[in-house]
């Protein structure tokens, strides 16, 4: 450790996020108890888990349940030998995209398949207790996209969100899963940022990797009910951002989500004579789930004011573009909440923290994975 600290001083290396001590259990080949992978066919759920190991071979454990039966499903997280259970939602419906204001809102983004980091942040900020029970009351939890890819626990993260949605609803709260470019990339078969683990799993299941999230799977159908932009009270939440071009094109929230959903499974390419409204929503330059203009372009305050006035919101909260810390921009009208966070399977020196945003009675706080709150 001394070598790296001295080296950082001498060569000017950024020590803010030096990682070391990778958990040896975490690999692309450690697949035992991975799942569930739930497929729907002929009014029957086919629930599959991958079992076994690289040395002795893998196999699939399967159970079937009829659509009209009530049953519990379990998901495992092997690094700390924990699990959680949930029931399936039998009647999946498209999410609403406008909601009444909530006294408390917590928003986080870009968890990138790190289940433990996600779980422990929610515990530290009193969204759930140590037994994973919802204790946030009527509060709203907003998940601003890119919760998959880059790490080893996509399955656990997605089913955990699925469970949280049901638990929040039972207690008068709400979980908003607003999807980002990485969720959409995986639905479209673009797996370039996924760990090889998921190609291995798909192969064992006899599938192509994109089929883990297609219309034959319960998770795939569930993801396709999600929006790319939602409004809660006076606050607009979107993964990348709302481009000024969307305002010029008079694109409302309903139309944005409608066009995005119709194209979740269709890779984007510029096409001759494509309608302008589709181009605006799907193009990497202006898409709400790809846009980086608040931080990469030289936008004026007037352009930002025009966007917030058009959508009748006081703030736009975004992820996607990494910030040093959760911060306000453009006279407080843009709040960026994507920060570099620790991975489940590394140690860090100095300690690296996940951050999020708390909105409490219209005051804004930077919060972290130790429960610390700082007004911004």
Contact 38, 47 (CB under 8 A): yes
Q: What is the pTM (predicted TM-score) of this model?
A: 0.95
The per-residue pLDDT for 359 is 98
Helix axis angle, 154-170 to 115-124, nearest 10°: 30
The per-residue pLDDT for 369 is 98
Give the pairing type, strands 363-368 and 347-349: unpaired
The per-residue pLDDT for 16 is 72
The per-residue pLDDT for 15 is 53
pLDDT along the chain (376 residues), means of 10: 43 66 97 97 96 98 95 97 96 97 96 98 98 98 98 98 98 98 98 98 97 96 98 98 98 98 96 95 98 97 98 98 98 98 97 97 97 98
The per-residue pLDDT for 193 is 98
Contact 344, 27 (CB under 8 A): no
d(CA 117, CA 138): 23
Q: Which domains does the chain have, with CATH numbers?
A: 91-375 (3.60.21.10)
């Amino acid at each position: 450790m001394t070598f790296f600290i001295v080296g950082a001083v001498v060569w000017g290396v950024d020590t803010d996020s030096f990682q070391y001590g990778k958990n040896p259990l975490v690999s692309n080949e450690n697949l035992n108890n991975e799942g569930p992978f739930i497929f729907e066919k002929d009014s029957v759920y086919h629930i599959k888990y991958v079992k076994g190991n690289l040395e002795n071979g893998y196999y699939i454990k399967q159970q079937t349940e009829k659509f009209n039966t009530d049953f519990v499903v379990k998901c495992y997280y092997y690094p700390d030998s924990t699990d959680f259970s949930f029931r399936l939602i039998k009647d999946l419906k498209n999410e609403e995209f406008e909601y009444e204001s909530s006294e408390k809102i917590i928003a986080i983004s870009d968890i990138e398949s790190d289940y433990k980091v996600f779980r422990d942040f929610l515990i530290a900020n009193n969204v759930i207790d140590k037994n994973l029970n919802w204790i946030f009351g009527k509060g709203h939890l907003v998940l601003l996209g890119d919760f998959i890819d880059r790490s080893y626990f996509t399955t656990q993260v997605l089913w955990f969100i699925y469970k949280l949605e049901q638990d929040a609803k039972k207690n008068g709260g709400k979980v908003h899963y607003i999807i980002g470019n990485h969720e959409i990339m995986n639905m479209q078969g673009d797996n370039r940022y996924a760990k090889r683990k998921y190609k291995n799993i798909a192969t064992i299941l006899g599938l192509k990797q994109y089929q883990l999230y297609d219309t034959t799977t319960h998770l795939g159908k569930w993801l396709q009910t999600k929006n790319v932009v939602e409004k809660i009270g006076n606050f607009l939440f979107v993964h990348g951002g709302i481009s000024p071009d969307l305002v010029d094109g008079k694109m409302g929230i309903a139309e944005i989500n409608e066009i995005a959903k119709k194209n979740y499974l269709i890779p984007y390419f510029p096409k001759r004579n494509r309608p302008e409204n589709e181009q605006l929503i799907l193009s990497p330059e202006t898409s709400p789930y790809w846009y980086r203009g608040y931080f990469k372009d030289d936008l004026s305050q007037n352009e930002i004011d025009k966007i917030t006035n058009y959508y009748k919101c006081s703030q736009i909260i975004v992820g996607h573009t990494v910030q040093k810390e959760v911060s306000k921009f453009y006279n407080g009208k843009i709040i960026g909440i994507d920060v570099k966070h620790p991975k489940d399977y590394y140690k860090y020196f100095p300690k690296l923290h996940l951050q999020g945003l708390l909105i409490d009675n219209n005051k804004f706080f930077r919060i972290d994975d130790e429960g610390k709150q700082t007004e911004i």
